[in-house]
Amino acid sequence: MKNKSLFEQQVCDWQTVLQTVQGRRVLWQIIQTSHFKEHGFVPADGLTTAFHCGQRSIGLFVWDWVEKAGGPALEQMRKEYVEQVENAQQEINRKQEEFIHE
């Protein structure tokens, strides 16, 4: 049996995580928290800029590995997140209606 290369093993590890709803939720939360599609520059504040750039770097790292390993996982993660947000909004709306009609 041939040993997998380090890269192949890492891809397998990421695929394993992406096969679970919980794994996709955690990775999506990291991606969102990193604000990786935004620049991190804060005028006249080098420490905050460095902090934001560090967050962004982690987001880029996760996004890159999800792309390498995930195939359709990115779209699935987005759909699952949107569904979660919509369910939470429906619950808020339901509670608001109950409050209004009390």
Residue 41 lies in a domain: yes
Average pLDDT over residues 10-15: 95
- Determine the structural domain holding residue 38 and report its residue range: 21-78
Residues 6+ positions from 52 with CB-CB distance below 8 Å: 35, 38, 40, 41, 42
Number of domains in the chain: 1
**Confidence grade of residue 2 (pLDDT, cut at 50, 70, 90):** low
Token pair in block for residue 21: 């709803």
* Residue 87 within a domain: no
Q: Indicate the pTM of the whole model.
A: 0.79
Structure tokens at 36: 């990786």
pLDDT beyond 60 at 66? yes
Query: Do the domain assignments include residue 13?
Result: no
Q: What residue has token string 């006249």?
A: 44
In a domain, 94, yes or no: no
Q: Do 81 and 30 touch, CB atoms closer than 8 A?
A: no
CA 3 to chain centre: 31
50 within some domain: yes
Q: Is 93 within a domain?
A: no
